[in-house]
């Protein structure tokens, strides 16, 4: 059993034209003595666990998730060539990928696919494993092209987690930059929420559901070019400073294609206006904007690998103003009396509810900003340092990664 637990999981995707029914799983389980079934397949986070007895103990061997509606952009080319829309996606995970359980998972996947006119796709192999078919090579010049991404990020007091906050975000974004309004959203992939032009209620209802649960959760947002969408993080409603919660603030960010924003002054002005208006209307205590380099752009959105840049920024609980520079900077009401005088030298634009600092007419990356300093009182600054993290694997292999660590500032204003 020790060797079994060290093995990686194995994933499969079943994509069908017809809605996959739970009875297909029941049929399969009943044809295989010794297997047990728990849960029920169904939309909106439906899941099933298949178990068997191993040395007298019930062992989970297969997890089934879905079905969920999917769009072509959610699926591999091999799948969209084989199945015509509409698409229903069922995902299977074999937690312990030994040959016997992987084969069982594949048999279950094929049984579901056969019953609903679908295919079985193996993400590990990058191919359809059932039925066997010839796949046309697809050429897209934009697939996996490395680009610069301009990110706008807002940090809000936890009291701002509300339906009215979500509505303000939609209305302000629709007025200033309609391309950045989410067209799809959700807590997991494939994103199940959709917004038609002018709609608000589906998104507001989804935010309300998360708020009612009271637990921390994150919405992924997808938008129209040149915006890629972004993320909305809602913190745990029962925040306790003595406990290690992921964060104690609401965070919203939106990503834009640097190939457009950096070379089109009109687009640059639009995102600066969006940055400022959302900072003020959402009552952000802090906000920033930066350029990340080496990000993959494709029809499915943004992708990252080991050489993609992860711009240093706040993470976890708020520790103070980051010591690294950003292209756009907003310091809201809690910081206003503490930084107003210090920012006069850099031409900060003062408002009654905050200060905006823009370092450069066009978006600037980390190297371009390296020598920029805003001259804050040191007690307000969270010192960020680049350190090397070493990870040792059971095989003896060692991987070293660079990561940013932040030291808490001496003074952190109360942002509610």
User: Quick one: CA dihedral 89, 90, 93, 97, positive or negative?
Assistant: negative
Read off the pLDDT of each residue in 172-176 and give the average, rounded to a whole number: 98
Read off the pLDDT of each residue in 230-250 and give the average, rounded to a whole number: 79
- Residue (of 4, 120, 123) closest to 60 by Cα position: 4
- Distance, CA of 331 to CA of 225 (rounded, Å): 29
pLDDT digits (tens, 9 = 90+) for 364-396: 999 999 989 898 999 999 999 888 777 766 666
- Distance, CA of 133 to CA of 127 (rounded, Å): 10
Q: What pLDDT, on the 0 to 100 scale, is given for residue 301?
A: 84
Read off the pLDDT of each residue in 260-270 and give the average, rounded to a whole number: 96
- Distance, CA of 332 to CA of 229 (rounded, Å): 24
CATH number, domain 2-130: 3.30.310
- Distance, CA of 223 to CA of 64 (rounded, Å): 29
Q: What pLDDT, on the 0 to 100 scale, is given for residue 118?
A: 94
pLDDT at 141 over 60: no
Q: What pLDDT, on the 0 to 100 scale, is given for residue 132?
A: 86
Work out the pLDDT band at 3, boundaries 50, 70, 90.
very low
Count Cβ atoms below 10 Å from residue 411 Cβ, excluding itself: 13
pLDDT digits (tens, 9 = 90+) for 210-220: 999 989 999 99
- Residue (of 362, 352, 385, 359) closest to 373 by Cα position: 359
CA distances 66 to 11, 19, 114, 157, Å, are: 14, 10, 17, 35
The mean of the pLDDT values for the chain is: 89
As a 3-state breakdown, the chain gives helix, strand, coil percent values, each rounded to 5, of: 25, 35, 40
pLDDT digits (tens, 9 = 90+) for 99-116: 899 999 999 999 999 989
What residues have CB less than 8 Å from 20, skipping those under 6 apart? 14, 41, 66, 67, 88, 90, 112, 115, 116, 118
Read off the pLDDT of each residue in 160-181 and give the average, rounded to a whole number: 97
Does the reported pTM lie above 0.85? no
Q: Which helix (H) or strand (E) holds 170?
A: helix 163-176
Work out the pLDDT band at 5, boundaries 50, 70, 90.
very low
* DSSP three-state, residue 187: coil
Q: Quick check: bond before 405 cis, omega within 30?
A: no
Q: What pLDDT, on the 0 to 100 scale, is given for residue 42?
A: 84
Q: What pLDDT, on the 0 to 100 scale, is given for residue 143?
A: 55
Q: What pLDDT, on the 0 to 100 scale, is given for residue 401?
A: 67
Work out the pLDDT band at 50, boundaries 50, 70, 90.
very high
- Residue (of 124, 154, 168, 404) closest to 289 by Cα position: 154
Q: What pLDDT, on the 0 to 100 scale, is given for residue 292?
A: 97
pLDDT at 221 over 90: yes
pLDDT digits (tens, 9 = 90+) for 349-359: 999 999 999 99
Read off the pLDDT of each residue in 182-186 and give the average, rounded to a whole number: 96
Q: What pLDDT, on the 0 to 100 scale, is given for residue 137?
A: 52
Q: What pLDDT, on the 0 to 100 scale, is given for residue 404?
A: 82
Q: What pLDDT, on the 0 to 100 scale, is given for residue 368?
A: 96
SS (H, E, C) 221-261: EECCCCEEEEEEEECCCCCCCCCCCCCCCEEEEEEEEHHHH
User: Quick one: CA dihedral 139, 144, 150, 154, positive or negative?
Assistant: positive
Domain extents for the chain? 2-130, 145-406
- Distance, CA of 221 to CA of 218 (rounded, Å): 10
Radius of gyration of the chain (CA): 24
Place of tokens 């996947």: 109
């Amino acid at each position: 059993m020790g060797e079994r637990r060290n093995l990686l999981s194995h994933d499969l995707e079943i994509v069908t034209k017809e809605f996959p029914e739970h009875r297909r799983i029941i049929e399969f389980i009943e044809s295989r003595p010794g297997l047990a079934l728990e849960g029920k397949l169904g939309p909106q986070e439906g899941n099933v666990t298949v178990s068997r007895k191993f040395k007298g103990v019930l062992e989970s061997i297969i997890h089934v998730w879905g079905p969920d509606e999917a769009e072509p952009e959610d699926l591999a080319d091999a799948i969209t060539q084989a199945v015509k829309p509409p698409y229903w996606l069922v995902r299977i995970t074999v937690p312990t990928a030994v040959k016997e359980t992987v084969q069982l998972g594949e048999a279950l996947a094929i049984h579901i696919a056969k019953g609903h006119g679908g295919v079985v796709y193996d993400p590990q192999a990058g191919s359809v494993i059932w039925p066997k078919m010839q796949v046309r090579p697809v050429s897209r010049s934009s697939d996996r092209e490395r680009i610069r991404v301009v990110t706008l990020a807002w940090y809000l007091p936890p009291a701002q987690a509300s339906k009215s906050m979500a509505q303000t975000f939609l209305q302000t974004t629709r007025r200033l930059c309609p391309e950045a309004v989410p067209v799809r959203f959700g807590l997991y992939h494939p994103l199940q929420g959709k917004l038609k032009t002018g709609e608000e209620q589906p998104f507001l209802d989804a935010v309300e559901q998360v708020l009612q649960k009271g637990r921390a959760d994150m919405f992924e947002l997808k938008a129209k070019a040149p915006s890629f969408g972004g993320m909305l993080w809602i913190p745990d409603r029962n925040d306790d400073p003595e406990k290690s919660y992921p964060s104690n603030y609401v965070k919203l960010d939106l990503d834009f294609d640097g190939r457009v924003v950096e070379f089109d002054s009109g687009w640059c002005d639009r995102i600066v206006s969006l940055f400022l208006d959302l900072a003020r209307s959402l009552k952000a205590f802090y906000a920033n904007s930066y350029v990340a380099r080496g990000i993959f752009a494709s029809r499915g959105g943004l992708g990252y690998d080991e050489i993609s840049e992860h711009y240093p920024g706040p993470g976890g609980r708020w520790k103070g103003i980051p010591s690294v520079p950003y292209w756009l900077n907003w310091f809201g009401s809690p910081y206003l009396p503490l930084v107003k005088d210090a920012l006069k030298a850099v031409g900060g634009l003062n408002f009654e509810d905050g200060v905006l600092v823009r370092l450069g007419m066009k978006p600037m990356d980390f190297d371009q900003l390296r020598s920029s300093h805003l001259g804050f009182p040191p007690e307000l600054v969270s010192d960020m340092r680049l350190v090397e993290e070493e990870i040792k694997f059971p095989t003896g292999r060692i991987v070293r990664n660079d990561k940013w660590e932040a030291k808490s500032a001496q003074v952190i204003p109360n942002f509610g």
